[in-house]
């Protein structure tokens, strides 16, 4: 399966719901997506902790960008760049372009 940046961003925004569907549902496609996403997030954590913290903080935990910027002691613009870079990197990892 080939993922787009928009799809990956949507999966991140709906991460909790996706995990619930996987645990309590029987949809094989969602299970595959969830496994790809979780593996990619773990790889991102090892390769780029700053991108990982930004992605998880904003998309998974729902922290506002301004709050995440304060937590990480960077500007809101830097958080926005990290979000874009993080989603791009996750997409590449999920598509097997980065090992």
pLDDT given at position 20: 80
pLDDT given at position 22: 73
Percent of the chain scoring above 70 in pLDDT: 98
DSSP state of 14: T
d(CA 34, CA 85): 20
User: Is 74 domain-assigned?
Assistant: yes
Q: Residue 76 is part of which domain span?
A: 5-94
Q: Which two tokens stand for residue 20?
A: 């619930």
Q: Is 31 exposed, middle or buried (0-12, 13-18, 19+ CB in 10 A)?
A: middle
User: Is 60 domain-assigned?
Assistant: yes
Exposed e or buried b per residue across 61-88, where buried means at least 16 C-beta atoms within 10 angstroms of its C-beta? eebebeebbeeeeeeeebbeebbeebbe
Within the chain, which residues score under 70 in pLDDT? 25
User: Is 99 domain-assigned?
Assistant: no
DSSP state of 58: I
User: Is 89 domain-assigned?
Assistant: yes
User: Is 15 domain-assigned?
Assistant: yes
Number of compact structural domains in the chain? 1
User: Is 20 domain-assigned?
Assistant: yes
What tens digit of pLDDT does each residue of 78-90 get?
A: 999 999 999 999 9
């Amino acid at each position: 399966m080939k993922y787009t940046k928009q799809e990956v961003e949507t999966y991140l925004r709906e991460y909790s719901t996706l995990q619930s569907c996987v645990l309590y549902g029987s949809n094989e496609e969602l299970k595959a997506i969830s496994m790809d996403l979780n593996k990619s997030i773990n790889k991102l954590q090892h390769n780029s902790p700053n991108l990982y913290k930004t992605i998880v903080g904003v998309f998974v935990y729902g922290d506002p960008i301004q709050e995440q910027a304060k937590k990480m002691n960077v500007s809101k613009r830097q958080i926005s760049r990290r979000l874009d870079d993080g989603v791009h990197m996750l997409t590449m990892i999920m598509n097997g372009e980065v090992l």
